[in-house]
Amino acid sequence: MRALHPRNLSWLSYGALKGDGTLIIVNSVGAMLQTLYILVYLHYCPRKRVVLLQTAALLGVLLLGFGYFWLLVPDLEARLQWLGLFCSVFTISMYLSPLADLAKVIQTKSAQHFSFSLTIATLLASASWTLYGFRLKDPYITVPNFPGIVTSFIRLWLFWKYSQKPDRNSQLLQT
């Protein structure tokens, strides 16, 4: 299961602090969809306790982080910079995470461990956010989204190099 990713809530806070309506709307929708996903998953999940504990722990970490930013960093500009850095770290980790399967893809000489549609969606989303960040001259939006473009092209190259031949002994890994 993919747990609630702190990226949407972090970027929502960054957008609210900056007064950026685009960030607020997009990440509000993303946070609502993630919440809906978790609720549906919990409904069908046989191990609800583990998932609830993971979700509660993550929300606790987020609350501590937001408490730090809102209560202990009084300067608005400093708060915006620290929150931008916080958001950037989560975004970069999200874009780099599919490369964890890189060794498996090279070892099996099969790109079936990657989702082609997710690769295309990642490329389009990261390119859009990178261009948006360039337009606003906001490095906290531009810089962390650029790795999404790079990793998408790496995965597309792997799709080309190792065309998807079904391997009966291998199962799809979540990307």
* CB-CB contact of 12 with 24 (8 Å): yes
63 lies in the same domain as 116: no
Angstrom distance (rounded) from CA 84 to CA 79: 8
Sign of CA dihedral 122, 18, 10, 40: negative
* CB-CB contact of 73 with 82 (8 Å): yes
Query: How far lies 159's CA from each of 56, 99, 140, in Å?
Result: 37, 13, 30
Domain around 115:
96-175
* CB-CB contact of 116 with 159 (8 Å): yes
Sign of CA dihedral 155, 161, 163, 169: negative
pTM of the complete model beyond 0.85: no
Angstrom distance (rounded) from CA 45 to CA 28: 25
Q: Which amino acid is at 43?
A: H
67 lies in the same domain as 110: no
Give the CATH number of the domain where residue 167 resides. 1.20.1280.290
> Is 127 within a domain?
yes
67 lies in the same domain as 10: yes
> Is 16 within a domain?
yes
Point out the domain boundary residue: 11, 38, 72.
72
CA-based nearest residue to 103, from 166, 173, 1: 173
Angstrom distance (rounded) from CA 137 to CA 131: 9
104 lies in the same domain as 162: yes
> Is 159 within a domain?
yes
Point out the domain boundary residue: 57, 72, 87.
72
106 lies in the same domain as 66: no
37 lies in the same domain as 102: no
pLDDT tens, residue order, the chain (175 aa): 444 566 788 899 899 999 999 999 999 999 899 888 878 888 888 877 887 888 788 788 878 877 887 788 878 898 899 889 988 998 998 888 878 877 788 888 888 878 899 899 999 999 999 999 999 999 999 999 999 999 999 989 988 888 755 555 445 555 4
Q: How many domains does the chain have?
A: 2
> Is 34 within a domain?
yes
